[in-house]
Structure 1
Amino acid sequence: MKIKLLYSCLLLAAAGSAFAQDTPDPAMVQKIREEGLNHSKVMDIAYHLTDASGPRLSGSPGLKRAQDWAVNELKTWGMVNAKREAWGKFGKGWEVQKNYVAMTAPYYHALIAIPKAWTPGTNGPIKGDVILVKADTLTDLDKYKGTLKGKVIIFDTKPGVERTFKADGIRYTDEQLDEMAKAKPQAPGAQRRGGPNSPQFTAMQKARALRAAINTFLQGESVGLVLTQARGSDGTVFTTNGASYADTAKAVSPELETSGEDFQRILRLVKAGEKVSIEADIKTQFFTDDLQGYNVVGEITGTDKKLKEQVVMIGGHLDSWHAATGATDNAAGSAVMLEVMRILKAVNFHPRRTIRIALWSSEEQGLFGSRGYVFNHFGDPKTMELKPEQSKVSAYYNLDNGSGKLRGIYLQGDSLAGPIFKAWLQPFKDLGAATVTISNTGSTDHVSFDAVGVPGFQFIQDPLDYGSRTHHSNQDTYDKLSEDDLKQAATIVASFVYNTSQRDDMIPRKELPKPQPTRN
């Protein structure tokens, strides 16, 4: 009986100690709140990453401008080891230098249209009649041989313009947040819908192969310009790439993603037998002098003799698409993380562990920047051969879901971190952040860390109009940023970073992932 009593006392003492180290310091929380909410620089940071830098497509001059500015600011704020760090080969840079297109017959109408990334320009002004090409198979193209030179090509691939009567911008309701908090852990090995063995994936691969073959045919026929209908409505154009960024990629024809309303007007006229003429002058430029990809990194050095070699990491991707200035995707997350570093310096914080920021590139092409960094520093997720640095990272916190306020955090299946994060969110209930969910969220850079067993987390954010209006679109501008939400986000993330850096123990880790099976 005495042994049981002693054991119970020891458990209570351990629990009390753990609770004590995860109870936020009220004085520091107040300092962080004061600086983050009342002396914020987050919108000035966002301005320099968007309006002042321009579009930040991977490998573009705009991305380098933003990276250079961020490195200089980190140095100005007193960070150490601030630099652009190469992660590996990316490919060609590209940017739009001129973009004019209009319908001139049967009457004049300026078109909303964006060059597809990594496609060429028109090599000067062109004028051409619009030809409707119908091709479900390669053999369907035979009838067009020798007839398309200098023409403007469209395809009848969509029935009309997407319409919705839902509000563009939304916030999570209390009921939705409660449902997140009650979520159950995902079953091990559960596969997402649409995986490589799914019918959807197979159909997509076939469609891509057909389009690649059509592109080769059109380029061989020397067409003047290709118009495709963009996803979106009300003048919003969601952009994509029309060619590969690889330095060995084949040449393609000039191609514009056109607003649904403009495209459908042209299509209706052509189908009705009207002569439709287009004039355009598109200039794009490729950059091949440096094919490397780069991330921005910088640090606040730890001060504890035992813990300073350990690291707390924060980040978000700095690259964007090219139709606008990538404000919500993801200048917002990058600005917040830069503001976190500024806040911690401004309150004269000297962390026990080293705090490192990383702003990734080429997230939009497949998390390449963060995956390259993880491979270079922490290990190979395919073989799970880990490097010594992997064991020294307490946690990585990511932000990449737009401009909405933080409502909590995804645990990414790390249940042991749940009680810790709940305690850290307590001081911010008045700011609307309290939800901790066991659920995973994917498709952004924390996944690269999770893949090698480093605790990687993404915060829950209000959606606003991220998915409906700004994500990858020509509407993704500084004007779509929510200042109060970004201030709130930076304040909460700064507190998380503070707590993680001061905690006696590192953030608990899940079981290491298994090596990925070799495919034959």
Structure 2
Amino acid sequence: MRKLLPFTLALSFFISLSIRAPSAAIANSAQNNSTDAAERLAQRALSTTAMIDDLQELCDRIGGRPTGSQTCERAVDWGAARFRAAGIQNVKVETYTVPSLWLPVAAEGACVSPEPFPIRVVATPYSPSTPQNRPLVTRLVDAGDGTAQDFARLGARARGAIALVHAPEMKTLDDLFAEYFKNLPMLAAARKAHVAALLLQSSRPRGLLYRHPMSVVGKTIDIPVGLVSREHASRLARLAVRGNVTVRLNLINRIGSAYQARNVIAEIRGSERPDEIVLIGAHLDSWELGTGAQDNGVNSATVIDIARGIKQLGLTPRRTIRFALFTGEEQGMFGSAGYVKSHAAELDRHVAMVTYDIGSGRTNGFFLNGREELRRVVEEAMGAVPSLRLTQNPIDGIDGTDNYDFLLSGVPNLVANQDGAPYLPDYHAESDVFDMVDQTEAKRNAAIASVLVWGLAERAERPAPRQTRAEVERLLRETHLDDQMKAFGQWDDWVKRRRGVNR
């Protein structure tokens, strides 16, 4: 820093005294106006039923929404229409590419001998159909936990058999991730053992079935895989201890090449810094066993309602607020990846990205995704409404939802840190329906999201700079996201620069 001459210093001090009072008054006035707006947004979100009405319509009239299905296409049109009905003029639908199509058609299973009985089974996403779309009838072998050692123990008995793989009961988010992490090594071991198919035991009791994707990179695997109810799996295992068991498995799935899917993008243009963008998004697609209420219809309805609230209250943010309803999330976050690719030239102008994806679970804070500088940003934004102040803002990085490609591209990003207990039992399951949504917590979440997004749009400085590739690489290591990406089979896309910042 250069030294100031005494006269210059004195003059500078005099000028600062002359302008400080009115500048401070203007700043305080702007802050007060912003705080008042945040309070009004929160109060409206807590008192309105519009969001719940939207959610009920989405779930009950459209239902489950796998990307590539007609119901997902209807949901996209519905989302665009709801934004327009909320008074948002700048609404568009953007296309992107999904690497391959996978949709379930039919699934059926049975124990043939020693005791005939039907078994409840569904196909796992990205499983192929059983050969020639016909039932596979063969012996069952118990492959324990599905490890390489378990398959090696079976030896020649595994060849041509249907292997039953056990699962511990899921009770926590860590249990859920453990269920995903075992996929790649289990498939490798099953492939080496030359099994004909896999039957995975449901990790949830009382006959509950769900979609458990075997790939998050959009590639169909080479072994038919079904998910069987927990109780039926246990019965089959007990029978296998006593002697030979023969089962029938029939999986019919619609599998296709790359295709075009759509996101809904809406925005409220900023008044002072319209070129700077705060984006809040949620994924609109879901699996179809239920109606996609918790995952993730409630948060899609929240995104629409935030836009509705800003328009209803006649507010204009300092920065542009962009609202995204992504699809393709369940297949591998392809909708948000498509957005990042299409908007690559303007990512420097994205000052923050926020996403919600854990149903109506209470928001306790936001995952900072390795960006410690965002802690103060969140605290300042939420300080506008003390009754909604948050206390759990972990530094952890999150993979598996729509912040992923923004994180890899260096854009400051936040993921809602929600209570997972009400969400986990219904995740991807038949039970993910409107009735399971906690409407009170959903409204509170909408209030929090409204206040946060408004605060990000109104703050004087950008929340944080965009990171370079080297900085993102360091963040991945420090948060151990690199390990998760490797376990999910995503690391190759980063290394080969198919996803992520390249500067």
TM more than 0.5: yes
Evaluate the alpha carbon distance shift between residue 411 and residue 22 of structure 1 in structure 2; reply closer, same or farther with a 3 A threshold. farther
Question: Which residue type is aligned with residue 272 of structure 1?
Answer: R
Q: Cα offset for 1:442? A: 0.7
Question: Which residue type is aligned with residue 76 of structure 2?
Answer: Q
Work out the CA distance in 2 between the residues paired with 1:42 and 1:106: 53
SS in 2 for 1:336: helix
Q: Deviations over 1:405-450 (max 9, x none)?
A: 222333344444444432332354434x422636133113224223
SS in 2 for 1:227: strand
Q: Cα offset for 1:47? A: 2.6
* Alignment RMSD: 4.2
SS in 2 for 1:311: strand
Which runs of 5 or more structure 2 residues have no equivalent in the other structure?
Answer: 1-5, 474-493, 498-503
Work out the CA distance in 2 between the residues paired with 1:26 and 1:85: 34
Aligned partners of 2:135 and 2:251 also within 8 Å: no
SS in 2 for 1:486: helix
Evaluate the alpha carbon distance shift between residue 61 and residue 510 of structure 1 in structure 2; reply closer, same or farther with a 3 A threshold. same
Work out the CA distance in 1 between the residues paired with 2:50 and 2:229: 35
Q: Which residue of 2 aligns with 1:411?
A: 368
Aligned partners of 1:227 and 1:258 also within 8 Å: yes
Give matches, 1:160-179, under 5 Å: 162-163=168-169
Q: How many residues align?
A: 455
Work out which of the residue numbers 209, 226, 230 in structure 1 matches 2:188.
209
Aligned partners of 1:95 and 1:322 also within 8 Å: no
Q: Cα offset for 1:263? A: 0.8
Q: Which residue of 2 aligns with 1:391?
A: 348
Q: Cα offset for 1:472? A: 3.0
Work out the CA distance in 2 between the residues paired with 1:407 and 1:239: 27
Work out which of the residue numbers 124, 135, 142 in structure 2 matches 1:116.
124
Work out the CA distance in 2 between the residues paired with 1:83 and 1:142: 57
Work out which of the residue numbers 78, 82, 87 in structure 2 matches 1:73.
82
Choose 472-481 or 236-245, whichever is displaced more: 236-245
Work out the CA distance in 2 between the residues paired with 1:262 and 1:450: 41
Q: Which residue of 1 aligns with 2:100?
A: 92
Evaluate the alpha carbon distance shift between residue 461 and residue 138 of structure 1 in structure 2; reply closer, same or farther with a 3 A threshold. closer
Q: Cα offset for 1:121? A: 6.3
Q: Cα offset for 1:486? A: 1.0
Aligned partners of 2:139 and 2:247 also within 8 Å: yes
Is 1:292 aligned with 2:260?
yes
Evaluate the alpha carbon distance shift between residue 207 and residue 407 of structure 1 in structure 2; reply closer, same or farther with a 3 A threshold. closer
Q: Which residue of 2 aligns with 1:324?
A: 290
Aligned partners of 2:217 and 2:332 also within 8 Å: no
Q: Cα offset for 1:209? A: 2.2
Work out the CA distance in 2 between the residues paired with 1:418 and 1:478: 33
Q: Deviations over 1:371-395 (max 9, x none)?
A: 33223313xxxxxxxx3x1232232
Is 1:61 aligned with 2:70?
yes
Work out the CA distance in 2 between the residues paired with 1:319 and 1:15: 47
Question: Which residue type is aligned with residue 234 of structure 1?
Answer: R
Aligned partners of 2:269 and 2:317 also within 8 Å: yes
Give matches, 1:81-480, under 5 Å: 81-87=90-96, 89-103=97-111, 109-118=117-126, 119-120=128-129, 128=137, 130-132=139-141, 153-158=161-166, 162-163=168-169, 205-213=184-192, 218=196, 227-241=199-213, 249=220, 252-253=223-224, 255-273=225-243, 278=248, 283-286=252-255, 288=257, 291-302=259-270, 304=271, 306-378=272-344, 387=345, 389-431=346-388, 433-435=389-391, 437=393, 439-443=395-399, 444-467=401-424, 469-480=425-436
Aligned partners of 2:140 and 2:247 also within 8 Å: no
Aligned partners of 1:414 and 1:510 also within 8 Å: no
Aligned partners of 2:110 and 2:118 also within 8 Å: yes
SS in 1 for 2:78: helix
Work out the CA distance in 1 between the residues paired with 2:98 and 2:370: 31
Q: Deviations over 1:311-368 (max 9, x none)?
A: 2211022233343333222223222112211222222223333221112233334333
Q: Cα offset for 1:105? A: 5.8
Between Structure 1 and Structure 2, the one with more helix by share is: 2
Question: Which residue type is aligned with residue 412 of structure 2?
Answer: P
SS in 1 for 2:398: coil
Q: Cα offset for 1:482? A: 1.0
Work out the CA distance in 2 between the residues paired with 1:47 and 1:205: 37
Work out the CA distance in 2 between the residues paired with 1:47 and 1:208: 38
Q: Cα offset for 1:459? A: 2.4
SS in 2 for 1:499: helix
Work out the CA distance in 1 between the residues paired with 2:495 and 2:42: 49
Evaluate the alpha carbon distance shift between residue 252 and residue 96 of structure 1 in structure 2; reply closer, same or farther with a 3 A threshold. same
TM-score by length of 2: 0.75
Q: Cα offset for 1:291? A: 1.1
Question: Which residue type is aligned with residue 91 of structure 1?
Answer: P
Aligned partners of 1:230 and 1:239 also within 8 Å: no
Q: Cα offset for 1:483? A: 0.6
SS in 1 for 2:316: coil
Question: Which residue type is aligned with residue 285 of structure 1?
Answer: R
Q: Cα offset for 1:41? A: 1.8
Evaluate the alpha carbon distance shift between residue 441 and residue 336 of structure 1 in structure 2; reply closer, same or farther with a 3 A threshold. farther
Is 1:498 aligned with 2:454?
yes
Aligned partners of 1:394 and 1:454 also within 8 Å: yes
Work out the CA distance in 1 between the residues paired with 2:377 and 2:214: 45
Evaluate the alpha carbon distance shift between residue 477 and residue 110 of structure 1 in structure 2; reply closer, same or farther with a 3 A threshold. farther
Q: Cα offset for 1:487? A: 0.7
SS in 1 for 2:295: helix
Q: Cα offset for 1:130? A: 4.6
SS in 2 for 1:82: strand
Work out the CA distance in 2 between the residues paired with 1:143 and 1:452: 48
Is 1:33 aligned with 2:1?
no
Q: Cα offset for 1:138? A: 8.4
Work out the CA distance in 1 between the residues paired with 2:215 and 2:130: 13
Evaluate the alpha carbon distance shift between residue 15 and residue 261 of structure 1 in structure 2; reply closer, same or farther with a 3 A threshold. farther
Work out the CA distance in 2 between the residues paired with 1:121 and 1:344: 51
Is 1:49 aligned with 2:58?
yes
